Structure 1
Amino acid sequence: MPITTIALDADDTLWQNEQFFRLTEQRFADLLKPYTDATDLNERLIASVTKNLSFYGFGMKGFALSMVETALDVTDHRVPGTVIAEVLAAGRELLSYPIETLPYVDQALDQLQQTHRLILVTKGDVFDQERKLAASGLADYFAAIEIVADKTAATYARIFERHTDGPDHTVMVGNSLRSDVLPSLEAGSYAVYVPHDLTWSYEHAEEPEGQPRYARIAHLGELADAIAQFDGSR
């Protein structure tokens, strides 16, 4: 059997996401500037976000709470309550940014749904991910939608068993080597990496060069050809 199912990541694969977190990081720095001379403010914020993943998970809620924690930490708890309120407001604004699909997304999904089963595999806050999917107008392309706390090989194995003909007939597509590519390969599927210029540093990893089930493309307009090459190598 050829590849029958294409699993796709959402944030920064189908639509813009990280750019809005970068804008919020800058807003956070501007709010804290009068109260701290820390030169590593952004690094401390990202360290807090990373540390808190096991408590709050991925998404805007954990990011907002980590901004508050960092603000208190870098100012020795001297930051005014009014500023904390503005920090929280900046976090809530992440829910109001427009959804901007990336180039070739609609054309690729429209083409590939005619020949493959499409499923969405995204991680983060359920409310936020459902909101973005609804706003994107892409939901009807997918036969199944999985919003998970994290992406591990075990997570992918469960999803592949539930929604596909098995990992040998499935390809996972996304912009994160750490979350989309490496664990899905470990689960036995094929994987296609679609780099995004603003991918969060947490998601970086070494490319699995030489892996016969791995491919890298510049944009989703090249996905059909990558899948055809996988099928041709069987």
Structure 2
Amino acid sequence: MGFEVSRRLSAADTVTLVNAVVGFVAGAVAFTDLHLAARLLLLSVITDALDGIVARGSQGSAVGPLLDSITDVVSFGATPSLFVYVLLTRYFGDITETGIAVGLAITLVASAYVVFSIVRTAFYETYIDSADGRPGMPNSLGAIVLSTAYLGGVRQPVVLAGAMLVFSVAMIAPFDYPKPGPRHVTPVGVVLAMAVLVPDALYRFGPRAVLVIALLFFLAGPRYYWAD
């Protein structure tokens, strides 16, 4: 019988796989151009939102939710970790310059986000069966903060790496985060697109606006969920 890929994949799954490609390219580009990598990471966030829109407008597939979770680990787990790794090695030097101890420390700090992202995804797929309960911060939120902070002018490696460590732990924190609905996603998506296309326009309005929104969601999301 085989996998019957063409029959079992939906249009939304195709968008999800495009997200994986964009996320992978962002991680690869990070080693040479962090500014472009940050823009691609935000483009991956937009693509991730699009697959949900496509899924609601057409018939999804049985494998769709799992594909989405795996892709999220690639785009919003591995790529932010690579981004942080490049930031830290550019600041402190790579393992050939800093020695094994410092190089190992940099690697552990940088890889924390992808490790916690994998743990959250695995636990979510295994233990969480309610659409209403979404414990832990979504890994896409940390990716948004990292990329918009960099595009908005926050370039200090230690500050960004420290923030990502906090977000890493937040992914397995015992707080439920809401899933933003269309009335919230649409206006934010417009500003997000501006951050991707013209990140330096209007004194970096796009990335800075998205950064403020993302940080407010990080701090107030759980409270919003309970109040709702």
Does the alignment reach a TM-score above 0.5?
no
Q: Which has the higher helix share?
A: 2
User: What is the TM-score of this pair, normalised by structure 1?
Assistant: 0.27
- Indicate the structure (1 or 2) with the bigger Cα radius of gyration: 1
Q: Which has the higher strand share?
A: 1
